[in-house]
Amino acid sequence: MVGVFLFCVYLVFFSLLISSYRPRPAQPWWLKVMTEMPHCTYYFGPFESNDEAELRRSGYIEDLEEEGAKIVTVSLWQGQPRTLTVTNE
């Protein structure tokens, strides 16, 4: 009888433990582009995967270059930017 009681307590505890576990949602991917002239950091996205971001990378670079921006670095970044354009001047 005590064994059945302990088993029920175990089941309740285990079910509470499982129900409280919530996996953290994956952070979106962004292209982080730093430029000179103007001296800015741009975030393009969000993307569901780094592969999707890489596929769209060239389009964003071409657009910035057509506007006269000089690209310094392009990197992948995972998270949530506070703002999409940061002026570093």
Residue 60 lies in a domain: yes
* pLDDT tens digits along 38-50: 999 999 999 999 9
Q: Which amino acid is residue 88, in one-letter code?
A: N
Domain count, the chain: 1
- The yes-or-no verdict on residue 79 having pLDDT over 90 is yes
Residue 58 lies in a domain: yes
Q: How far apart are CA 64 and CA 62, in angstroms?
A: 6
Residue 21 lies in a domain: no
Residue 68 lies in a domain: yes
Residue 43 lies in a domain: yes
Q: Phi first, then psi: give them for residue 68, nearest 5 degrees.
A: 95, 5
Residue 74 lies in a domain: yes
- For 81, the domain range is 29-87
- The yes-or-no verdict on residue 24 having pLDDT over 90 is no
Please report, in angstroms and rounded to a whole number, the separation of the first and last CA atoms in the chain. 75
Q: What angle do CA 35, 38, 44 make, to 5 degrees?
A: 50
More confident position, 16 or 29: 29
* pLDDT tens digits along 51-72: 999 999 999 999 999 999 999 9
Confidence at residue 55, expressed as pLDDT on a 0 to 100 scale = 95
Q: How far apart are CA 80 and CA 6, in angstroms?
A: 46
Mean predicted lDDT score pLDDT of the chain: 86
Residue 48 lies in a domain: yes
